[in-house]
């Protein structure tokens, strides 16, 4: 009787990166790209520079992003999403309060991130002008308008006729705020004075809303 041959050892399975590791790698690439974007113009940044600064390989880059443009669009989207999240949080924190309080809270929430990373936001608005496609821009713009609709509808001092005008008023509010903030960051070689910008935005928004949404 012959003894059975031992089964060949199983081939080791290739381990896939954990979700947390993948997230950290993608974040490192995004942070490296933004850091380089502050230092030089977008066309002059290479993927090799991005991976070198992020401490990862070219192969890892292409596991997460199809191209430098793909990475740039993701960074633009996430930064805009950060502002949307801050807007929604401000609304929920003051739901039922007077409209003026809500507007001031939303403004503070939108400018808070700009205060922490002024140079990065200047680079963001410049890059946005070059890379935002029409459809992507329209979708994000509409999400901000919907956010401003929530601001108006959450106010506790507006009658129903005024609330019915929320969609139109929200569009104007987003146009005012985006125009002031984006162009203030684009027009000067150094980041703008955000205290002055906040005062100007407050006056513009409340002045418009007082006329557009009468309380009586």
Q: What is the CATH number of domain 18-65?
A: 1.10.10
pLDDT tens sequence across 19-55: 677 889 999 999 999 999 999 999 999 999 999 999 9
Query: Smallest Cα–Cα separation from 119: which of 38, 35, 34?
Result: 38
In this model, does residue 156 exceed pLDDT 70?
Answer: yes
Query: Smallest Cα–Cα separation from 154: which of 99, 117, 206?
Result: 99
Would the CA dihedral through 185, 128, 27, 139 be positive or negative? positive
Which are the contacts of 203, defined by CB distance < 8 A and separation ≥ 6? none
User: Which pLDDT score is estimated for 162?
Assistant: 86
Residue 8 pLDDT grade (very low, low, confident, very high; cuts 50, 70, 90): low
Query: Smallest Cα–Cα separation from 39: which of 152, 122, 136?
Result: 122
The reply to whether domains 18-65 and 70-212 share a CATH topology is: no
Q: Domain 70-212, CATH 1.10.357 — does that match?
A: yes
**CA distances from residue 119 to 42, 191, 199 in whole angstroms, order as listed:** 14, 6, 21
Residue 136 pLDDT grade (very low, low, confident, very high; cuts 50, 70, 90): confident
What value does the CA radius of gyration of the chain take, rounded to a whole number of Å? 24
Q: Residue ranges of the domains in the chain?
A: 18-65, 70-212
User: Which pLDDT score is estimated for 189?
Assistant: 82
pLDDT tens sequence across 44-101: 999 999 999 999 999 999 999 999 999 999 999 999 999 999 999 999 999 999 999 9
Residue 6 pLDDT grade (very low, low, confident, very high; cuts 50, 70, 90): low
pLDDT tens sequence across 97-133: 999 999 999 999 999 989 999 999 999 999 998 887 8
CA distance 201 to 178: 10
Q: Judge whether 31 and 39 are in contact, CB under 8 Å.
A: no
Residue 216 pLDDT grade (very low, low, confident, very high; cuts 50, 70, 90): very low
**Could you identify the residue written with the tokens 């380089």?**
36
Range from 104-108, 147-151, 188-192, 193-197 carrying the lowest mean pLDDT: 188-192
Residue 5 pLDDT grade (very low, low, confident, very high; cuts 50, 70, 90): low
**CA distances from residue 1 to 4, 7, 8, 132, 162 in whole angstroms, order as listed:** 9, 18, 21, 75, 95
Give the pair of three-digit tokens for residue 141: 């713009």
Residue 2 pLDDT grade (very low, low, confident, very high; cuts 50, 70, 90): very low
User: Which pLDDT score is estimated for 18?
Assistant: 58
**CA distances from residue 94 to 11, 77, 150, 156 in whole angstroms, order as listed:** 59, 26, 11, 10
């Amino acid at each position: 009787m012959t003894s059975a041959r031992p089964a060949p050892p199983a081939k080791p399975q290739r381990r896939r990166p954990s979700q947390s590791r993948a997230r950290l790698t993608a974040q490192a690439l995004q942070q490296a790209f933004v850091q380089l974007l502050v230092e030089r113009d977008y066309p002059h940044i290479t993927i090799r520079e991005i991976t070198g600064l992020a401490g990862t390989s070219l192969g890892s880059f292409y596991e997460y992003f199809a191209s430098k443009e793909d990475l740039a669009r993701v960074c633009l989207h996430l930064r805009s999403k950060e502002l949307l999240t801050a807007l929604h949080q401000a609304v929920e924190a003051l739901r039922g309060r007077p409209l003026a309080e809500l507007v001031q809270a939303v403004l503070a929430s939108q400018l808070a991130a700009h205060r922490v990373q002024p140079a990065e936001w200047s680079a963001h608005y410049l890059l946005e002008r070059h890379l935002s496609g029409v459809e992507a821009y329209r979708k994000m713009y509409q999400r901000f308008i919907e956010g401003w609709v929530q601001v108006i509808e959450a106010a506790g001092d507006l009658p129903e006729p005024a609330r019915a005008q929320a969609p139109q008023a929200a569009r104007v509010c987003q146009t005012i705020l985006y125009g002031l903030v984006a162009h203030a960051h684009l027009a000067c070689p150094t980041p703008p004075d955000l205290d002055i910008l906040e005062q100007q935005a407050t006056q513009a928004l409340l002045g418009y809303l007082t006329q557009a949404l009468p309380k009586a």
